[in-house]
Amino acid sequence: MIRKTLASLVLLMVMMAMLVGCAPAATPEPAAPAEPAAPAEPAAPAEPAAPAEPAAPAQPEAKTYKVALIASLLGDKSFMDSAAAGIKLVNENMPNVETKIIENADVGEQQLAARAMAEQGYDLVVTIGYGSADWTDEIAAAFPDTKFAIVDATLAQPNGTGLVFREDEGSFTVGMVAAMLTKTKKVGYIGGMDVPLLRRFELGYIQGVKYVDPSIEVVSGWIGDFNDANKGKELALTQYQEGVDIIFAAAGKAGEGVLNASKERGLYSIGVDSDQDYLYPGHVITSMMKRVDLSIYGAVQALVAGELSGGTKVFGLKEDGVGMCYLYDIDTEFLDNGPADMAAKMKDEVIPAVKTAVEKIKSGEMCVKDYMEVFPCENPAPEGGMGK
C-alpha cells in the first residue's frame, strides 16, 4: 500500500516536471520605447565671405623730368659756376628731375649738344650768355615741344624763357661800398670784354660811387677776355699803381687775376656773380651777387609745376636777384679778416647805408639808369644823394 502510494507520488512529480518543461517561455516585458532623439539644431548658415576690396587703381608713376645745362668752361668761381650751382640745387631738392651738365668752350659744340638734348627728349635745355641767343632760338623753333631757357638774354620762341638780371642795380650797391671805403678817392672797374652787358655793370657801379660822392674818380679797363686771369692781374696792377685802391672786377674767370692782384698789393677788390670773398680773405671786400643759381632752379621748379610758359623773367633788387653779399647774409669774410677800421666802418656805416638805398630803389623812390636802356629810369639816383 505504501509502495503504491510512493509510486503515485513519484509519477505525479514526474508529470509536473514535464509540464513545466513543455510550457512556453514567458514573454519578456516589452522594453519601454526609446525617447526619440531631439532633432539636431540646424547649423547656423555660414557668414557670407566679405567681398574682396576692389584693387586700388594703379597710380600713374610720377613723371621724371630731364634737364640739361649747356655751359662753357666751369671752374671760374663766378658766372658759370653759379649756373652749375643751380643744377646742384635741383639735384639736392627735386628727386623727380634728372640733370645733365654739358661743358664745352666751343660754341659750335654747344649748339650740337643743345640740339642733341632736344632730340633725346629732354624737357628743358638751359643755355648761357647773350651770345647764345640766336642759335638757342633757332633750335627752340625746331623743337616746339621742348622748353628752353637762356641766362642773360631773351628768346623769341614761345617755348623759350629768358632769365635776365638788373646788373646795373646790383653794381650800384658795390659802387656805394667802394666809394664809402676808398682812402684815395680813386676806384677802379675792370670788365671782361667791352660789350653792352658789361657796360651795364660799369654804369651801375659808377652811379653807386657818385651817389655817395661825385668827386670820386672811377677808372675803367677791359681785359678783352673772360678766361685769362694773367691779363686780369696785369690790368689790375696797373690801376693800383695809378692810385686806385679798390677795383670791382666783372670778368668771369679772368676776374680772379684782379682779386689776386689786390692781395699781392695789399689793397682791395670786389668780386662778381658768385660769393668770391673767401678767395682772398681781408682783400675781397664783398661780391656783387648775380643769382644765376636761383634763376635756373626757379625755371626747373616752374617746369615741374607746368608754369614755364615762356617770356622773360627779370631778377633785380626787388626780386633778390642781385646785390652785394651782405644783403643776403652770405659772407662775412671781410668783417672777420679785413683791417679793423674798414671792417668796423663796413658793419656800422656801409651796410646800413646800402640797405637804405636798396629800399629806395625797390620802392621806386629812385632808380638806376640802364646802359642798355631795356629798363626805364625816371628818377635816377642823384649824385651826392646819399648825404641828402
Instruction: Domain ranges for the chain, please list them.
Output: 65-165, 167-290+323-374
* E strand segments, the chain: 65-71, 97-103, 124-128, 147-151, 160-165, 186-191, 217-222, 246-250, 268-273, 284-290, 311-315, 322-324
* Same CATH fold assignment for domains 65-165 and 167-290+323-374: yes
pLDDT band with cut points at 50, 70 and 90 for residue 329:
confident
Mean pLDDT of the chain: 88
Question: What predicted TM-score, i.e. pTM, was given to this entire model?
Answer: 0.82
Element (H, E) at 45: none
CATH superfamily for 167-290+323-374 is: Response regulator (3.40.50.2300)
138 strand-pairing partners: none
Min mean pLDDT across 8-22, 102-116, 151-165, 259-273 is at: 8-22
Question: Which architecture characterizes domain 65-165 according to CATH?
Answer: 3-Layer(aba) Sandwich (3.40)
Q: Are the CB atoms for 182 and 173 separated by under 8 Å?
A: no
pLDDT band with cut points at 50, 70 and 90 for residue 387:
confident
Amino acid code (one letter) for 17: A
Condensed to tens digits (0 to 9), the pLDDT of residues 157-216 reads 999 999 999 999 999 999 999 999 999 999 999 999 999 999 999 999 999 999 999 999
